[in-house]
A = this chain, B = another copy of it.
Amino acid sequence: MKEEQSLFANYLKSKGLKMTSARRTVLRAFIKSEGHLSAEDLLAAAKKIDPGLGQATVFRTLKLLSDAGLAQDACQEEGPRRYEHVYKQSHHDHLICIGCGKMIEFCHPEIEKAQNEIFKKFGFRGTGHKLELRGLCADCARKLDEENK
């Protein structure tokens, strides 16, 4: 928490940007948050700290947090963009049930390794990736089978 604070502060200073109370508010709300949250979610959380906060500021600050390496956009389901913590957070990918929306986070080392091979093969300097597996969870698969019976 304190660490994320100073990481963000350093980032801002390095870019000639200012640490403001609005940004502190958004950062605090983001740090307290969990999972994948949209700008709207974060605005709601931040307004509990400062009701006067504007929504544009949340969009702007979320982008800064992303540039600063504190946030990254999580799986791109339909709907608004969603962010999650990246600082001190282990990398993971997402498995989503297209029936009920349930989401599972996982990390598969071999996939990660294979991705590096791809980068090398095509002469790329890898910076990241997004992997999203989609399917039916056991419950939803069963339900579907019964319906089609």
Task: Name the B residues within 8 Å of A138 (CB-CB).
Answer: 123-124
Q: Is A118 an interface residue (CB 8 A)?
A: yes
Task: Name the B residues within 8 Å of A131 (CB-CB).
Answer: 129-132
* Bound CA span A122–B104, Å: 9
Contact A126 B134 (CB under 8 A): yes
* Bound CA span A95–B115, Å: 10
Task: Name the B residues within 8 Å of A119 (CB-CB).
Answer: 95, 133, 135
5 shortest A-B CB distances, which residue pairs?
A: A124-B135, A126-B135, A123-B138, A125-B136, A129-B133
26 contacts between A and B (CB under 8 A): A76-B76, A95-B118, A95-B119, A95-B122, A95-B124, A97-B124, A104-B122, A106-B121, A108-B117, A108-B118, A110-B114, A111-B115, A114-B114, A119-B135, A123-B137, A124-B135, A126-B133, A126-B134, A127-B135, A127-B136, A128-B133, A128-B135, A129-B132, A130-B130, A130-B132, A131-B132
Which A positions have Cβ atoms within 8 angstroms of B?
76, 95, 97-98, 104, 106, 108, 110-111, 114-115, 117-119, 121-138, 141
